[in-house]
Amino acid sequence: MTDLPQRATSSRLDPYADRYAARTAGMTVSEVRALFAVAARPEVVSLAGGMPNISSLPLDVVGDSIKDLVLSQGPTALQYGGGQGDPVLREQICEVMRLEGIEAHPDDVVVTVGSQQAVDLVTRVFCDPGDVVICEAPSYVGALGVFKGYQCDVVHAEVDSEGLIPHALEQAIVSTKASGRKVKFLYTIPNFQNPTGVTMTAERRTQILEICRRHDILVLEDNPYGLLGFDDEPRPAMRAQDPGVIYLGSFSKTFSPGLRVGWALAPSAIREKLVLAQESATLCPPPFNQMAVSAYLSNHDWQGQIKEMREMYRERRDAMLDALEDYMPAACTWTKPDGGFFVWLTLPAGIDCKAMLPRAVTARVAYVPGTGFFADGFGASSMRISYCYPTPERIREGVRRLAGVIEAEMEL
Ligand code: PMP
């Protein structure tokens, strides 16, 4: 087991510091959060946020179905519900997952408060302090926060343009085992990964599953962006190939993040533990929100709505890639996502994107520095830029401003 974080001693700033649990040492404030408040000003083009653009949602349809929900099913929707989640919604979730080739039974689905809570519950169920979770390098900052919060050690394995690299995974597993630590699971985002936008190829998916099977390692497949690909057909999920995979889904990107409805699909023994963990965390996921999602799926052409969203995001992706091509210095490289929200931009080694951020904000553009997506301090010369929220014109202007800041930085 590795050294666990030390408990802080009390100070005049925080008189309670010596009473907190050791795990709070892993709960750190984002160093760039303060700047994001500045970046939210209207004159700044924010390429930082990952907020879904829900402007095309039919608010009249949503409003009518919520009113109808209260009037016709209020006593159920406004009451406590089961810890596993609404049975009707769990059936609908199975239909959603069928689009990615998953055949699942509603009994094996647990509804969660966003897929963020699903990451938390899986970690709570599997990880003791010092256990290892293998994550892509880079990986989703919100999941890294959960793993740190449970005092796990994150071991990274590299990603390239085809997704997680099989021999990097194998190496991470072997070296972790050699150090006497337990690998509890691999956390992967195979589709339009946050933060790189990269998608794992079909061949890699099979290889990664084979490696995990051979080493007896669970796979946690986090897939909030799977239906937001710019190709016609969603790619088959890893869970479609292997029923031992724990799969996480969400309605945040395809409907509403404000309702906080996501889910986990897991082998039944694990699912039972997840339900117990869910009951102790929240008693039950919110029935009202679940039934609102369920009504939306029943009353609206949700697949048509997702198609519209994909077209909007594709146009924004195109605007970003065109602007990068037109404005970025030749020494910069970037990923070319075919779905989701994000591009990963890498600058020449030696440029520190975190140190550069205040200068970018002064130039009225914001991004997320790369280091937040690594548990080990890497990523200094990279950044995540997202195209989901600003208009194509603003994206182009934002990239133009960013290129100017980078050029000036390269001359320093
Ligand atoms: N996983 C990934 C990869 C994400 O990008 C996000 C949202 N940014 C989440 C999980 C959490 O999403 P939610 O809780 O809204 O479902």
Ligand 1 neighbourhood includes 341 CB (under 6 angstroms): no
Task: Assign 218 a pLDDT band (cuts: 50, 70, 90).
Answer: very high
Which of the listed residues 113, 122, 194 should we mutate to test ligand 1's pocket, taking the one with most ligand atoms within 8 A of CB? 194
pLDDT at residue 412, rounded to an integer:
72
Q: How confident is the model at residue 10 (pLDDT cuts 50, 70, 90)?
A: low
Please work out whether the CB of residue 49 comes within 6 Å of at least one atom of ligand 1: no
Residue written as tokens 């950044």?
A: 383
**Which residue would you say has higher pLDDT here, 132 or 40?**
132
Q: For the segment 287-307, what is each residue's pLDDT rounded down to a tens digit? A: 999 999 999 999 899 999 999
Instruction: Match 């897929």 to its residue by tokens.
Output: 115
Per-residue pLDDT, 32: 66
Q: How many whole angstroms separate alpha carbon 52 and alpha carbon 308?
A: 13
Q: Tokens 């030749």 belong to which residue? A: 330
Distance 250 CA to ligand 1 centre (A): 7
Mutate to test the pocket of ligand 1, among 139, 159, 164, 250 (most ligand atoms within 8 A of CB): 250
Length of the chain: 412
Q: Is the CB of 222 under 6 A from ligand 1?
A: yes
Q: State pLDDT tens for residues 103-126.
A: 999 999 999 999 999 999 999 999
| pLDDT tens column, 31-77 | 667 677 777 889 999 999 888 998 889 999 899 999 999 999 999 99
Q: Residue 2: what pLDDT?
A: 45
Q: Which long-range contacts (CB under 8 A, 24 or more apart) does 308-312 make?
A: 308/56, 309/52, 309/53, 309/56, 309/228, 309/254, 310/228, 310/229, 310/230, 310/339, 312/53, 312/56
| pLDDT for residue 334 is more than 90 | yes
What sign has the CA pseudo-torsion 275, 281, 287, 292? negative
> Shortest CA distance to 364 belongs to which of 41, 37, 34, 50?
41
Mutation choice for ligand 1 from 110, 111, 116, 389, CB with most ligand atoms inside 8 A: 116
Cα angle 163, 169, 175 (rounded to 5 degrees) comes to 155
The answer to whether the CB of 190 falls within 8 A of the CB of 220 is no
Tell which atom from ligand 1 comes closest to the C-alpha of 115. Answer: 16
pTM: 0.95
3 state SS of 137:
strand
CA–centroid distance, 378 to ligand 1, in Å, is: 22
Cis omega (within 30 of 0) on the bond before 234?
A: no
In angstroms, what is the span from residue 224 Cα to ligand 1's centroid? 6
Instruction: Identify the weakest region by mean pLDDT among 47-56, 174-183, 220-229.
Output: 47-56
262 lines ligand 1 (CB under 6 A): yes
100 CA → ligand 1 middle, Å: 18
Whole-number Å distance, alpha carbon 142 to ligand 1 midpoint, is 7
Q: 409 falls in which pLDDT band (50, 70, 90)? A: very high
- Distance (angstroms) between ligand 1 centre and the Cα of 72 equals 32
221 ligand 1 Cβ < 6 A: no
* Nearest atom of ligand 1 to the alpha carbon of 116: 14
User: 44 with 365: CB under 8 angstroms?
Assistant: yes
Quick check: helix, strand or coil at residue 292?
helix
- The strand pairing partners of 345, in sequence order, are 334, 383
Q: What is the pLDDT of residue 1?
A: 43
% of the chain residues with pLDDT over 70: 97
The pLDDT of residue 12 is: 77
Ligand 1 atom having least distance to the Cα of 189: 3
Q: How far apart are CA 332 and CA 347, in angstroms?
A: 5
